[in-house]
Chains A and B, each alone.
Chain A
Amino acid sequence: MVSPEAKAKAAAGAPAIDAGSAEETVSCRWPLLVLFLGAAGWLVAGSLLGLLASIKFHSPMFLAEPAWLTYGRVKAASAALLVYGFCVPTALGVGLWLMSRLGRVALAGPVVAGFGGGLLHAGVAVGLVGVLRGDGTGFLHLEFPAGAAGLVFLGYLLLGTVGVLTLYRRREARMEAAQWFVLAGLFWFGWIYSTANLCLLVFPVRGVAQAAINYWHTGNLLGVWMGLMGLGTVFALLPRLAGREPGREYVAMFVFWVLLLFGSWTGIPATAPLPAWMPALSTVGTVLSGLGVLGVAVIVHQTLAGRYGSVWRDERLRFLGLGVAAYVVGGVMQVVEALSGRSWMLHFTWFTAAREWMQVYGYLALVMFGTVYAIVPALVGVDWWSRRFLRLHFWLAGAGLLFVAAPLAAGGVVEAARLLNPALGFVEVSRGTLMFLRLSTIGELLILAGNGLFFVNLAGTVAGICRRALADALRRWGAETTGEGAAA
């Protein structure tokens, strides 16, 4: 039961992110809106394509005719849009904002940042057309053809440079955890994305080394880069929104180094067709980075101890809280997957898909939703277009995550158990997962609806301030002309 005082407090308005100095706000406004608005659009498109792919898996005749809507293309396009269309630009935008606000300095080069954001979105658009045309690369999480990947990388490079320069010019000398996390994340993405694209698409390495590079890139992207960007955001916002002092930097440092030192080894399943030392080292790295996940749980508990109720009363904190919970669950799932790899082939089943949903959507996307919901009102100076959409989005996202991840994980365990039975054929085993896949389609439908609300809400808010700016300009112009008329 919520106490009457708490209810009154919630009604009075949850704590808002302060507006910061005028120059900080103005410098961040348009670059971030470009990044967020484009990202929200890609998110809706990506989850729509993902829904199509999900339906096709149990109803293969659905939209089977046009080549550009076949499973292989829509699935790849949806995965790429979720990661490169939504996660990368949103996390970069939030990272730039943290660099500016925590350093108490205006963004270095807002025009460059806005241009970089545009370039990034243009790269995603070219890549989407490429994948749907059939020019996808066939590498998971590197679906875009080389030209589109080059555009994405250029856009990223501009944004990353602005981020590093903003940190360099900061007025607040001491850095806090969020800043080193985001700084490392900015460098990390540049390193892995350029290396993987150069070694796979531009100067392709031979044979099995391609698989090794693809595994390495995926492990670093999902584990290290998403870990750095999302956790940095959580460490900065969670205590402030919950009304606690920021701090707890020793545990954050523990998490940081565990992530960087061991997280970068992860991603190679135990039965990968690679020399035995690679999967063995990867399994060890996965278990060791599990300690980082425990560290995150410790930080969140230290931050929120005695105040878990406040998480529930604030929609933005709900997003962040559920996101961190998904991070912990996803990390545990990854350890289970790695350790079971030799006897149970969990990584060969839908369990992997469930884990990736936890890590990409459950963790990073939800953390980013919460953060965007927290910072946009301060950026544009007005509240969200619809508070009801915001609340509804949380329920749709939470229920959608549950309906996608739980059936896929359960289906994966069942599939792995049946794969061990030599009396069952492979097709029979696959057919046994159909019910779980149908359930996950319901989840994807809920997620699509939630993402649609997010896009409409963001677009409505931005349209609102555009309309207001336009009305102001018109009134000024009108006043001037009437003033001139009076003078004449």
Chain B
Amino acid sequence: MSVEMRRPAQPATEGREEPTPQGAVPMWLFILLFVALFWGMNYFDRHGAWFNGRVYAPYRSLAELQMHQPPTGGINLERGRAVYESVCALCHGVDGKGKPGQAPPLAGAEWVLGPVNRLVRIPLAGLTGPIEVNGQQWNLAMPAMGAALSDEDLAAVLSYMRTSWGNKGTEVTAEQVGAVRKEIGNRTQPFTAAELLTVQ
């Protein structure tokens, strides 16, 4: 018996029964296609970010991506901690307790929790001469460690100091830092404790 590759000229009429209908597309396949298309639209809407080339896999939309960006306004305490640990912590300690003979403590210090205008002046221009912190006398010189920081970073690091290690102060804003920076102008001379006490 051999199989003819050519298609028959007319339907074979041998009387052989065809148990299945000739090649109609079953309706359920079309229904399933439209269900899948509907699902696909929804899926793409939820995950595809509408062809935005800036949105990558774990994020689903530009809005979600922007939600995770670091805030541009307001105070970012995480940023403050990072700046503190890279700029201040070498002398004042990661725990803010200071180091004997090197730097006074910041935790619970009246100079940290006192008026903001007084505090901002210290990193901007430095501090020299005798000073009493937490009832203990210190006589050291601190350079102007914060002069090179931006207003936002300095505000963040000071806010971090005023709210960490048991300190319960208010946050410092970038505007407050900017105002003090303008007030002291090009001053290169470090402040003394007596001078600072006149600032309210």
Contacts and interface: CB of A to CB of B under 8 A. Distances in A.
Given A276-B48, A276-B57, A284 B5 contact: no
Contacts of B52: 275-277
Interface in B7-27: 7-8, 11-12, 19-26
A23 to B, nearest CB: 14
Interface of B: 1-8, 11-12, 19-26, 29, 32-33, 36-37, 39-40, 43-44, 47-57, 59-60
B5 A276 contact: no
Nearest to A246: B7
Contact of B29 (A172, A248, A295): A295
24 contacts: A13-B1, A15-B2, A16-B3, A101-B5, A172-B7, A243-B3, A245-B8, A245-B11, A246-B7, A251-B23, A251-B25, A251-B26, A251-B29, A276-B56, A276-B60, A277-B50, A277-B52, A277-B55, A280-B47, A280-B49, A284-B43, A288-B33, A294-B29, A302-B23
A241 interface: yes
B49 A277 contact: yes
Interface in A288-333: 288, 290-291, 294-295, 298-299, 302, 305-306
Interface string A245-271: 111111110100010000000000011
Contacts of B36: 287-288, 290-291
Interface of A: 12-13, 15-20, 101-102, 104, 172, 174, 176, 236, 240-241, 243, 245-252, 254, 258, 270-277, 279-281, 283-284, 287-288, 290-291, 294-295, 298-299, 302, 305-306
Contact of A276 (B6, B33, B37, B49): B49
Contact of A306 (B1, B19, B56, B59): B19
A456 B8 CA distance: 37
Nearest to A288: B36
Contact of A279 (B33, B39, B53, B57): B57
A276 B8 contact: no
Contacts of B2: 15-19
A245 B12 contact: yes
A206 B173 CA distance: 44
Contacts of B26: 251, 298
Contacts of A247: 22-23
A254 B55 contact: no
Nearest to B59: A276
B8 A271 contact: no
Most buried by B among A172, A174, A250, A277: A277
Contacts of B5: 17-18, 20, 101-102, 236, 240
Contacts of B3: 15-18, 240-241, 243
B187 to A, nearest CB: 49
A245 B20 CA distance: 12
Contact of B40 (A15, A275, A288): A288
B23 A305 contact: no
A243 B16 CA distance: 11
A105 to B, nearest CB: 12
Contacts of A245: 8, 11-12, 22
A276 B55 contact: yes
B132 to A, nearest CB: 51
B1 to A, nearest CB: 5
A276 B55 CA distance: 6
A174 B10 CA distance: 13
Contacts of A251: 23-26, 29
A197 B63 CA distance: 37
A250 B60 contact: no
Nearest to B65: A276
A22 to B, nearest CB: 14
A20 B4 CA distance: 8
A280 B6 contact: no
Contacts of B1: 12-13, 15-16
Nearest to A100: B5
Interface pairs A-B: 4 shortest CB-CB: A248-B23, A280-B48, A284-B40, A280-B47
Contacts of B54: 275
Contacts of B25: 250-251, 254, 295, 298
Nearest to B5: A101
A65 B53 CA distance: 46
A18 B55 CA distance: 58
A205 B92 CA distance: 52
Most buried by B among A15, A258, A302: A302
